[in-house]
Amino acid sequence: MKKINVKSSDKHISNFLDTKEALKSKYEADNSETKTIGDLNDFNNWINKIAKR
């Protein structure tokens, strides 16, 4: 994995990307071990629901 320099305010993002869960998700995505759980319309509906809160 290529290391990048991050600002101290962005360190929490960098720390997350090094977690076991994030690395597992990256592996699954890189190896086509994902499944579709919705489409763009589902996503837009979800965003609109959140925006209305």
Q: What is the pLDDT of residues 12-21, one digit of tens each?
A: 656 788 899 9
**Nearest 5°: CA angle at 21, between 37 and 32?**
45
More confident residue, 10 or 21: 21
Does 20 map to a domain?
yes
pLDDT in tens, 36-46: 889 999 999 99
| Segment (H or E) for 13 | helix 11-17
pLDDT of 35 > 80? The answer is yes
So what's the pLDDT on residue 2?
Answer: 63
Q: How many helices (H) and strands (E) does the chain have?
A: 3, 0
Q: Phi, psi (5° rounding) for residue 34?
A: -115, 165
pLDDT confidence of 31, banded at 50, 70, 90?
very high
Does 2 map to a domain?
no
Does 44 map to a domain?
yes
Q: Phi, psi (5° rounding) for residue 32?
A: 55, 40
Does 43 map to a domain?
yes
Find the mean pLDDT for residues 10-32.
Answer: 85
Q: What is the tally of structural domains in the chain? A: 1
Does 1 map to a domain?
no
Residue numbers of the domain that contains 30: 8-51
The structure tokens listed for 33 are 């071990």
